[in-house]
Amino acid sequence: MDDRCGLFTSRTSFASYVELMQNSTSNNLTALTPCRKEICSTLWGSGNPDISGVGVIIAYAMELSLGILLSIGVLFIQPSSAKGFNRSIHQAFHTYADAAVMFTFSIQLASVIILARKDFGVSAEGVGGYTVEITWCAALLTMLPVTLLSFVHTGLRRQTLRLGTTCVSWILFMYTFLARMVAAFGPGQISTSEDAVIAPSQWEIIVQMCFRGAEELSVSQRRVMDVFFIGGSLFISLMILGLLVWSFFEGRKETLYIRKWSNMISRRLPRNTFKIALVLNLALWGPPQIWAISCFRTVQARLARSVNDVNLDNNWSFGQIISVVVFLPVFIDFAYSFLVKEADVHSG
DSSP string, 148-184: HHHHH-TT-TTHHHHHHHHHHHHHHHHHHHHHHHHHH
Residue type, 327: F
**Residue 195: burial class (beta carbons within 10 Å; 0-12, 13-18, 19+):** exposed
pLDDT category of residue 108 using cuts at 50, 70 and 90: very high
Q: What is the pLDDT of residue 262?
A: 52
10: alpha, beta or left? (left if phi > 0; alpha if psi -120 to 50): beta
Higher pLDDT, 299 or 191: 299
pLDDT category of residue 251 using cuts at 50, 70 and 90: low
Residues paired with residue 190 on neighbouring β-strands, in sequence order: 198
SS3 call for 198: strand
φ and ψ at residue 190, rounded to 5 degrees? -115, 100
Min mean pLDDT across 42-46, 120-124, 136-140, 311-315 is at: 120-124
Q: What is the mean pLDDT of the chain?
A: 83
Residues paired with residue 198 on neighbouring β-strands, in sequence order: 190
Residue 67 DSSP one-character state: H
pTM: 0.85
158: alpha, beta or left? (left if phi > 0; alpha if psi -120 to 50): left
Measuring CA to CA, how many Å separate 45 from each of 16, 93, 187, 296?
Answer: 17, 37, 23, 11
Higher pLDDT, 194 or 231: 231
Task: Single out the residue of 184, 187, 169, 243 nearest to residue 219, CA to CA.
Answer: 184
Taking only the tens place, the pLDDT of each residue in 271-281 is 667 778 888 88
**Residue 216: burial class (beta carbons within 10 Å; 0-12, 13-18, 19+):** middle
Cβ-Cβ contacts under 8 Å for 125 (sequence gap 6 or more): 10, 11
Residue 197 in this model has a pLDDT that exceeds 90: no
Task: Single out the residue of 69, 162, 151, 346 nearest to residue 77, CA to CA.
Answer: 69
Cβ-Cβ contacts under 8 Å for 16 (sequence gap 6 or more): 121
pLDDT category of residue 162 using cuts at 50, 70 and 90: confident
Q: What is the pLDDT of residue 347?
A: 45
Task: Single out the residue of 210, 205, 273, 158 nearest to residue 41, CA to CA.
Answer: 210
Cβ pair 130, 299 in contact under 8 A: yes
The residue-averaged pLDDT of 121-139 equals 83
- Most confidently modeled of 11-15, 121-125, 223-227, 249-253? 223-227
Higher pLDDT, 27 or 345: 27
Taking only the tens place, the pLDDT of each residue in 279-294 is 888 899 999 999 999 9
Taking only the tens place, the pLDDT of each residue in 33-69 is 888 888 888 888 878 888 888 889 999 999 999 999 9
310: alpha, beta or left? (left if phi > 0; alpha if psi -120 to 50): beta
Cβ-Cβ contacts under 8 Å for 50 (sequence gap 6 or more): 56, 317, 319, 320
Residue 82 in this model has a pLDDT that exceeds 70: no
Higher pLDDT, 82 or 6: 6
Residue 90 in this model has a pLDDT that exceeds 80: yes
For residue 185, the Cα-to-chain-centroid distance in whole angstroms is 20
